[in-house]
Amino acid sequence: MDCVFCMILNGEIPSTRVFENDDFIIIHDIHPKARHHYLAIPKQHFKTLEEATKEQMKIVTNILTTIPKLEKTLDLTNGYRLIINQGEDAGQSVPHLHIHILGGEPLSEM
Ligand code: AMP
């Protein structure tokens, strides 16, 4: 499949994995928008929350419940922002659901 995140998951494209479990990985974003900018990427390919099956929504829940446990590991103890870009208007450039994790400094409002 011609999906950059599937290729990262397959090891075809290199990435810096900072966390991995059965459901998802967390890597460094290649173009960081904050001092710390990570991407949490499900191992299953689906584009948006609308498309997600019940099982895939459990993966999203797993991601959202795991991230707070990783605050120290990811150096985010002073707060962070989670973003899911969904579709064209949001500027989703990779059609494989992912959660941006931004922090490590005070973030601007946008
Ligand atoms: P989005 O605009 O929400 O689809 O975000 C896609 C993100 O993936 C962007 O922040 C890109 O910088 C990031 N990205 C694209 N290719 C790679 C890559 N090979 N390794 C790490 N991050 C990537």
pTM over 0.85: yes
Task: In whole angstroms, give the CA distance from residue 6 to residue 67.
Answer: 21
**By the 8 A CB rule, do 95 and 85 touch?**
no
**94 Cα–ligand 1 center, Å:** 7
Task: For 58-100, write each residue's pLDDT tens digit.
Answer: 999 999 999 999 999 999 999 999 999 999 999 999 999 999 9
With beta carbons less than 8 A apart as the criterion, state whether 98 and 40 touch: yes
Beta carbon of 62 within 6 Å of any ligand 1 atom: no
8 token code pair: 């990262």
Instruction: Look up residue 81 and give its DSSP letter.
Output: E
Separation of alpha carbons 71 and 86, rounded Å: 25
Q: What is the pLDDT of residue 1?
A: 67
Q: Is residue 98 among the annotated active site residues?
A: yes
